[in-house]
Structures are given as structure tokens and as C-alpha cells.
Amino acid sequence: MNKLAIFGGESLISVGWPRWPYAGERERELVDEVLSSDIWGGTGLGPKITELNKKFAEYCDAKYGAAVANGTVSMELCLVAWGIGPGDEVIIPAATFMATAVAVHNVGATVVYVDVDPKTLNIDNAKVADAITNRTKAIIPVHIGGHPCDIDPLIEIAGKHNIKVLEDAAQAHGAIYKGRKVGSLADVASFSFQQSKNLQSGEGGIVVSDNKDLIDLIHYSLGKFGRGIREKYSGHIHYRFGWNACYTEIQAAIALAQLERLEEQTEKRTVNAKKLYSLMENIEGIETFEWQPYCDRHAHHLFLLRFKSENFENVKRAQFLAALNKEGVLASSFYPMALYNQPLYKSETSLSMRKTICPVAEQACREVVFIEQNLLLADSHKIELIAEAVKKIRKNAAQLHTIEIEESEFIGSSVLKKAAKKNS
Ligand SMILES: Cc1ncc(COP(=O)(O)O)c(C=O)c1O
């Protein structure tokens, strides 16, 4: 039992984890209803989308919702609705998924990268204040991994400068900040329904807000070729430049079924994550991220850990991850680099970007690992096995130096890796 699985020992965990994505009878029933109907997509105003817009907005304690094609275009549409474009600046954290930056670049605005808070890896409010200029038009705080940003001070700073705040809540369905649901905290919020997310329909996204005019503009017009709003919607009259950001009825059926399980799953992840934090507490070289006092519920899309190689017998992060995966724990490294260091900025020189050096983001990109969210849906005894696996590896850490592995092996989600493998 003590021989590491990576060296031919028995894996600590041999039975499978809860499936992700998962579809039950309810998904099939609702998808069947769509397939039996004559609206599968096309209009974006069908009954399932309409129901999802209402129910998901309600889930977020927001008034209105507009489902769109994905959680990137959702942010683009918000920026366009606010009239943000070339010459304007939008502040985002340097440690996030590239989509946050892509949305800003796609509207031609300048991405301004700022550092993150080491306690959460969310945007550092003090750094935001320093980055504001008279061109700043919006801030996009990202609730990374599912831990809510400390957004009230940010909204206060933004208010003073007449700057909009858009929550990138792609990873934070169901998270709660000071008793308020993520999605209801700022001017508008954007969620992703891409398949790895805690609520998913393969692809998809949604914008939620209390601002009816903004949601109408996105739902009827900007996301649908610039058609007119409400009674002016149909036909081939285009009032403004718009996107084809249509979500489909089939996707909405899946999302509606998943939404029925979201609360129960979020609670289960919470209980299991809390258990895992305490089991991981005294493992040398492994640091957990504490819930901050303003966090009433973490969505745990990613269960983040800091891997301190220097306290782990100088084992490399990739060696640790290779051993952990072989013991049966699905885990990956965090984003590989602060976004301003991505190679695209060398080739795509027309993209407008401003940065200050972000040492906290850079360090997080070197050190942080995450355990995938569906593991937190397992029975509690399996959660103990995750900690056991880490302890087993810690005990045998010195042996890991012989493993030859590239850091790149453990970048990105297992979804992408599985798809790539099946196609090769
Ligand atoms: C932080 C963040 N923002 C935005 C997105 C974009 O969402 P989508 O893949 O639906 O475009 C994602 C995930 O994919 C994300 O993790």
C-alpha cells in the first residue's frame, strides 16, 4: 500500500468518481420535449430559454437573464451594450482564463492586467485603484475557482470613477458573498455553461442583471444580429450591429434539468470541501485557501491548493501531479502563466494591452494546483482518500525526483485531454 502507484504500487483510489458531465432522466425528458416540438433553436426566444432566463436569474437573486452562446460572448455583449470599444480600458485580473481577456479584445478595448490577492487569487482591489485612468470604462472581477471576490470595495471605487462592474461568474454558480448571491452583486454578471462548469449544457452562457433595458438589449438585439427589441424583434430589419449569440432550446433543456440539481450539488461540494480543507491542514508543502470572512458560500468549481515545492523536498509540481493522478485523484495545474505573458501577445501585436508586473499572479501560476469539482460530489469516505493520497505521496516525496515529466502534461482540464485523446 505504501508503494506509490506511479512506481507500480496499488492506486489508493480504484473506483470511479461521480461522472461529469452527468445526464439523468430529467435531461432526457426535457430534451425530448424540445425534439418533439418545432423550436430547437433559431429564434433564441423559445419556451425553454425563456424559462431558463427566468429561473437562473431567480437563482442568482437577479431580476432578468439572457442566455447566449457562451460565457465569453456574454461578456462581450455587456461591454458593447455599454458602448465600450477602441480607446477604452477594461481592468481584469492577470490570473484568469483567457476568455475574460478575449471578451475585451473582441470589442477592441485595451485590457489592463492587475495583480491578484494571494489569499483568494481574485483581483486585488488596491491594485485596481492604482490602475484606473480616465480611459477606464469597466472592471471585470472574476470569482476564480468559485470563491467570491470582495466586490463591495470595488463597486465603491468604480462608483467614484463612473466605471461599470461586470462579474465574471463563469466559475461561481451558487456562490454567496455577504449573504448575497454571486450574479446579483454588480451592474451585471456573466456565467458560463461550458461542460466543465458546475452548471453546464455542453456550451452556453448567460447574462443576469436587475437592469431590464440592458438585458432586453442583449437578449433581443445585440445577441441576435441587431434586431429590434420586443415587438420590433422579428424579421430582417436590423437597428444596430449585432452578434449571432443564440443559445438553443436543446441546451436550455439540459441546463434546466441541471439547475434542478445545482443547489444540492453546491451544498455537497461545500461539505466535502470543508472536510478536505481540514484533512489537508497539516501536510507539509500543501497550503489550502481559506474562505475569507465575506464568503458565505464558495462554489468550489476548482478546489485550489498551493503546492510549495521547497517544503515538499523540492519535488516539481508536475511530478506531484503525475503521482497524484496515478493514485486516482484527478488534478491539474492552475493557469500556466500570468495572461500578459501568453505567446499571443508576441504574435498578435495589434491587441491593445497594458500591464503592471503581477508577482502574486505569476507565483500562483507556478505553484497552484486544483482538484476537479466532480470529485467533491463523491461520498465522504472518498474525500478522505484524496487526503490519504496526498499524504502517501508526501511520505515518499524523495522518490519522485526520478520521474521525467513536462510541466505542460498537467495544464488544462481533463475534458480537453480526453477529447484530444479520443481523436488521436
Ligand atoms: C473565468 C472564466 N471566464 C470566462 C469563461 C468563458 O466561458 P465559455 O467557455 O462559456 O466561453 C470561462 C470558462 O470557460 C472561465 O473559466
Q: Is residue 249 domain-resident?
A: yes
183: domain CATH number is 3.40.640.10
- Asked whether 245 lines ligand 1 (CB < 6 A), one says no
Give the phi and the psi of residue 331 in degrees, each rounded to 5: -145, 155
Strand order in the sheet with 353-355: 64-68, 205-209, 188-192, 164-168, 136-139, 89-93, 110-114, 353-355
pLDDT at site 105? 98
**CATH number of the domain residue 370 falls in:** 3.90.1150.10
C-alpha of residue 123 to centroid of ligand 1, in Å:
16
Residues 6+ positions from 250 with CB-CB distance below 8 Å: 31, 34, 35, 40, 41
The alpha-carbon radius of gyration of the chain (Å, integer) is 22
- Rounded to the nearest angstrom, the distance between the alpha carbon of 273 and the centre of ligand 1 is 22
Q: Sorting pLDDT into bands at 50, 70 and 90, what band is 411?
A: confident
Give the residue from 257, 287, 319 where a domain finishes.
257
Residues 124 and 164 in one domain: yes
Quick check: is 20 in a domain?
A: no
The whole-angstrom separation of Cα 395 and Cα 389 is: 10
Q: Is 143 inside a domain boundary?
A: yes
Q: 296 — phi, psi (to 5°)? A: -95, -25
pLDDT score of 254 more than 90: yes
Average pLDDT, stretch 48-60? 98
Nearest atom within ligand 1 for CA of residue 203: 10
Residue 210 is assigned to a structural domain of this protein? yes
Does residue 300 share a domain with residue 248? no
The reply to whether 309 and 217 lie within a common domain is: no
- Same domain assignment for residues 287 and 412: yes
What is the model's pLDDT at position 108? 98
| 369 beta partners | 305, 333
Cα(415) to ligand 1 centroid in Å equals 14
Give the mean pLDDT of the chain.
Answer: 95
Total domains in the chain come to 2
- Say if residue 237 is in the same domain as residue 356: no
Distance of CA 148 to the CA centre of its chain: 11
Quick check: helix, strand or coil at residue 363? helix
Residues 237 and 224 in one domain: yes
> Sign (positive/negative) of CA torsion 56, 57, 60, 61?
negative
Q: What is the mean pLDDT of residues 38-46?
A: 86
* Phi, psi angle pair for 307, to nearest 5°: -100, 110
Q: Alpha-carbon torsion 375, 299, 381, 274, what sign?
A: positive
- Say what the pLDDT of residue 413 is: 61
- Count the Cβ atoms, other than its own, within 10 Å of residue 338: 24
Integer Cα distance of 91 and 176 in angstroms:
23
Nearest CA to ligand 1 atom 12: 170
pLDDT of residue 419: 61
User: Is residue 301 a part of any domain in this protein?
Assistant: yes
Q: Is the pLDDT of residue 418 over 80?
A: no
Q: Name the residue with higher pLDDT: 395 or 356.
A: 395
User: Cα(109)–Cα(111) distance, rounded to whole angstroms?
Assistant: 6
Answer yes or no: do 209 and 349 share one domain.
Answer: no
Q: Cell numbers 510541466 correspond to what residue?
A: 407
Q: Are residues 410 and 293 in the same domain?
A: yes
* Cell numbers 430559454: residue: 49
Q: Is it the case that residue 87 has pLDDT exceeding 80?
A: yes
261 CA to centre of own chain: 19
Q: What is the pLDDT of residues 96-144, one digit of tens each?
A: 999 999 999 999 999 999 999 999 999 999 999 999 999 999 999 999 9
pLDDT at 118: 98
Q: How far is the CA of 70 from the centre of ligand 1 (A)?
A: 8
Kindly state whether residues 111 and 198 are assigned to the same domain. yes
- pLDDT mean over 57-70: 98
Does residue 1 register a pLDDT over 60?
Answer: no
Cell of 136: 477606464
Only one residue has cell 519535488, namely: 315
- 133 and 276: one domain? no
| Domain-embedded: residue 18 | no
Domain span at 214: 25-257
Query: Quick one: pLDDT at residue 356?
Result: 86
How far does residue 223's CA lie from ligand 1's centre (Å)? 17
Pocket test for ligand 1, best of 79, 123, 167, 171 (most atoms within 8 A of CB): 171
Whether 66 is covered by a domain: the verdict is yes
Q: How far apart are CA 246 and CA 77, in angstroms?
A: 12
Given a contact cutoff of 8 angstroms between Cβ atoms, the answer to whether 42 and 399 are in contact is no
Residues 376, 331 contacting (CB under 8 angstroms): no
- Same domain as 412, residue 283: yes
- With a 6 Å cutoff on the Cβ, whether 99 touches ligand 1 is yes
Q: What pLDDT sits at residue 15?
A: 76
CB 166 within 8 A of CB 188: yes
Q: What is the pTM of this model?
A: 0.97
Cβ atoms of 334 and 304 closer than 8 Å: yes
Whether residues 347 and 216 share a domain: the answer is: no
Question: Can you tell me the distance from the alpha carbon of 146 to that of 164, in angstroms, rounded to the nearest whole number?
Answer: 22
Domain presence at residue 222? yes
C-alpha cell at 188: 451585471
Rounded Cα gap, residues 350 and 299, in angstroms: 36
From 72, 197, 207, 332, give the residue whose CB has the most ligand 1 atoms within 8 Å, as the site to mutate: 72
% of the chain exceeding 70 in pLDDT: 96
For the segment 202-224, the average pLDDT, to the nearest whole number, is 98
Average pLDDT estimate for 36-59: 93
Of the three residues 227, 257, 287, the one that is the final residue of a domain is 257
Question: Is the Cβ–Cβ distance between 240 and 270 less than 8 Å?
Answer: no
Averaged pLDDT, 168-190: 98
Which of 218, 236, 257 represents a domain boundary (last residue)? 257
Query: Minimal CA–CA distance to 183: which of 240, 125, 127, 266?
Result: 266
